[in-house]
Amino acid sequence: MTIINNQCVGALQGALTYVNNSFDTEPKVLTREIMDQLLDSKHTSKLIEQYRSEKRQDAKKKLPAVLFNGLYSPPLAERWLAQDPQHSRRQDQCFIPSPFYGIDIDMPNCGMQMYQHALRCIENKLGDPSLFLAMAYLTPSQGLRLVVKRTGVLSIEQEIQKWHNILNLPIDTKCKNLSRLYLLCHRDDVLYYNPDMLFPLQDYDSPGEKAESLPQEGTHSEEEAELHDQKAIKLVAKAVPIKQSTPPQPAYSDADDDELMDDQCLQDEEIQVPPMPERLPPAIEHIISASPENTRPAVAIACFSALRILLSEVQFKHIDNRDFEPCFMNICIASQASGKSAIRMPLKEILYDIEKEDEENRAADDQWRAKCAVLPANAERPPAPTSPLRIVQADMTNPALVKLCKRAHPHSLYTYGEEIEKILRLKGASEIIRSAYDCEQYGQERVSAASVSEVAQLRWSFNFSTTPNTARRVLKGDTNNGTLSRLCLSTIILDEDDWGEDTPTYGQYGESYRNTLKVYTTPLLRAKGIIHYPEAIKWANDEKIRQTNYLKMMDAKHMLPFLWRSLQMGCWRGYILSIMHGGWSQEIEDFCSWSVSYDMWCKSYYFGQLIEKDFNVVEQGGHRPTMLLPMLQNTFTYNDAVSIRRIMNKPTTSRAVRNMLNQWIHRKLVTYDKETKKYHKTNINH
């Protein structure tokens, strides 16, 4: 791919183009004037508001979109259409490389911080950002989009890698061709715009192509919408085999129609869960192989609670040079009917042999109780069975937990529970979670002869599931005492457009599945002593730096206490996988990195507001300046404050904005000038 200069663009009759909406297959010339109309359009503003507030996919489908990566060439289009008249003009073959490239950073609600971070990175590595940046704006999903100048003769893949290295941000890598569409924003969401760079050429109308009038508010009739839907269904039907019983329901994303056709069930863009690596460790690949697609990330995390039970008398060295026994207490947080029960099946296969042993040991317990029941009161009872019971029920008392732990020593207990509320039946559940994670002594001292007075080393891993509201209610008071940080979270995200038409598909479990699994689990049963993989320590140190830098960039110091234990659990997973595979590998490293990001994402997504609130109250005495103030100029207006709150996805009602401003005035962070009606920072470092 070559970078073309202005003369080449003119010679090939190319121009930046746009489409009116996601169903429009005809690219139209994008001029500076049309761009201004699109950005200032009330219709565009209304559609974005409907999508953000009501999650209306139909509103998103009607947004205009620009093709920044490629310049539309009528001669190339004529040639391509002559070869295949059935194809849309919006094809990669109809475009020549544009001098620009679009970059998507799809992490919602973080646009302003990422934009500031991007400017610093460009300045540090390339120089003046204004020489490279043509446009920056918030996407409809409130992620960040940058339109940058190409700086060399690079392919799309090389361009992606180059900007990934420059920005050190999670860049969307889905772009595959020149014809990718980028949904446009409203002027309120524009962070930077240099029309002189984006439109260096004189406005150009290509032969046979004329820019149509922009859609105005209320012009989309129901008949037009139905026509658009039929048009999109035909477009998808050409490329994707469709089940005869279910008509396709394509959901338009920021990607082009090729990607839309490749994936009819795109996840809601508001929920950007860190995706699993494409290449997984073989053991994980096998464990998740029979699980429905959407449950596989949750299964990949949940399985370690069961794998840990196969270890005994094993410790792992961590980056602080201390040795730890691993512990995984996993909670899957997902809505009802999301498929949480799918996690249970692979866990049962991992624990199959232990469950069989427990059945025999429980039968021996039952026989002992039966014998004791018929003995006279003063008769000597036979010795109680000592064989361990390792898979225990959630419904147990504190003394029972201690006795079971002591009986199972040096093995670990395991529990699977459908609802996290069951753990509350244990008195001091938070203390028990903390003690189990740290493998500490736990028990109770009693003076009564009839009471249980016993202490044991608490080894206990578990899998529980729950809904988001229940999880927040149960753990509301445990966000800043070390309890939540010791839990590893997972989730199952459903497409909000999914009405359950497609039944989740399971693979085959059973003997064949278990036989393959044993190839990986047998080494865990044999492992003993202190295990040290230098590669795991190196990874953990590198990952700590990467994750800490990310938290700094996000101004999320309240998440720092959670990083240490997420990192520790990620390192434990690395050790376990290395034992299972006979050594460290790149696949293991990538999986461990993902597991840390995934755990941190889940905690931030489901508990972020509670964590930040408790952090502000406890750590900073309730007087930590809000992160919004540094984003404003030293002198700003009320409307500036509204815009910042809108960008950061915070309420923009008059009451919410006034409360924020009054708090800043009360804390002497800003002053207010009644004559100019402007606010002034009292310290420019804020």
**Better-predicted residue by pLDDT, 269 or 520:** 520
**248 within some domain:** no
CATH number at residue 519: 3.40.50
Domain that holds residue 377: 352-389
What is residue 502's predicted lDDT score, i.e. its pLDDT? 62
pLDDT at 308 over 50: yes
**42 within some domain:** yes
Segment 177-187 mean pLDDT: 86
CATH number at residue 84: 3.90.920
- Binned at pLDDT 50, 70 and 90, residue 91 comes out as low
What is residue 447's predicted lDDT score, i.e. its pLDDT? 55
What is residue 313's predicted lDDT score, i.e. its pLDDT? 92
429 and 529 within one domain? yes
- Binned at pLDDT 50, 70 and 90, residue 390 comes out as very high
Q: How many distinct helices (H) and strands (E) make up the chain?
A: 24, 21
357's tokens? 């042993």
pLDDT at 253 over 70: no
Main-chain dihedrals φ then ψ at residue 140, nearest 5 degrees: -55, -30
Residues in CB range of 483: below 8 A, 6 or more apart: 430, 433, 434, 475
Of 234-238, 335-339, 345-349, 548-552, give the range with the top mean pLDDT. Answer: 345-349
Q: Express each pLDDT in 639-668 by its tens digit.
A: 888 877 776 667 777 877 887 888 788 778
Angle at CA of residue 553, ends 551 and 554, nearest 5°: 65
**539-547: which pairs have CB atoms within 8 A and are 24 or more residues apart?**
539/571, 539/574, 539/589, 539/592, 539/593, 540/318, 540/319, 540/567, 540/570, 540/571, 540/574, 541/319, 543/567, 543/570, 543/592, 543/593, 543/596, 544/319, 546/593, 547/596, 547/597, 547/600
152 and 52 within one domain? yes
Averaged confidence pLDDT in the chain: 78
What is residue 522's predicted lDDT score, i.e. its pLDDT? 96
648 and 553 within one domain? no
432 and 363 within one domain? no
What is residue 288's predicted lDDT score, i.e. its pLDDT? 96
Q: Express each pLDDT in 347-379 by its tens digit.
A: 999 999 999 999 999 999 899 888 888 888 788
What is residue 264's predicted lDDT score, i.e. its pLDDT? 25
- Binned at pLDDT 50, 70 and 90, residue 337 comes out as confident
**272 within some domain:** no
**Ranges assigned E (strand) in 28-153:** 28-29, 65-72, 95-97, 100-105, 133-138, 144-149
Q: Of the residues 389, 412, 436, which one is the last residue of a structural domain?
A: 389
**280 within some domain:** no
CB–CB of 588/578 below 8 Å? yes
413 and 359 within one domain? no
User: Which of 21-25, 287-291, 460-464 shows the lowest per-residue confidence on average (mean pLDDT)?
Assistant: 21-25
pLDDT at 384 over 90: no
**37 within some domain:** yes
684's tokens? 């420019």
- Binned at pLDDT 50, 70 and 90, residue 587 comes out as very high
Q: Of the residues 213, 242, 259, which one is the last residue of a structural domain?
A: 213
- Binned at pLDDT 50, 70 and 90, residue 623 comes out as very low
**203 within some domain:** yes
DSSP state of 231: H
- Binned at pLDDT 50, 70 and 90, residue 591 comes out as very high
Segment 187-193 mean pLDDT: 90
With H, G, I as helix, E, B as strand and everything else as coil, classify residue 389.
Answer: coil
CB–CB of 204/74 below 8 Å? no
199 and 326 within one domain? no
347 and 361 within one domain? no
474 and 356 within one domain? no
549 and 645 within one domain? no
**246 within some domain:** no
182's tokens? 């980028």
Residues in CB range of 536: below 8 A, 6 or more apart: 316, 571, 574, 575, 578, 584, 592
What is residue 109's predicted lDDT score, i.e. its pLDDT? 62
443 and 305 within one domain? yes
What is residue 531's predicted lDDT score, i.e. its pLDDT? 94
Q: Of the residues 149, 183, 213, which one is the last residue of a structural domain?
A: 213
pLDDT at 46 over 50: yes
With H, G, I as helix, E, B as strand and everything else as coil, classify residue 672.
Answer: strand
- Binned at pLDDT 50, 70 and 90, residue 436 comes out as very high
Segment 485-503 mean pLDDT: 77
Segment 456-474 mean pLDDT: 92
**369 within some domain:** yes
Segment 171-177 mean pLDDT: 72
What domain count does the chain have? Answer: 4
**Better-predicted residue by pLDDT, 450 or 484:** 484
425's tokens? 């039946």
Please give the Cα distance from 294 to 682 (Å, whole number): 50
Of 148-152, 160-164, 393-397, 537-541, give the range with the top mean pLDDT. Answer: 537-541
403 and 373 within one domain? no
297 and 148 within one domain? no
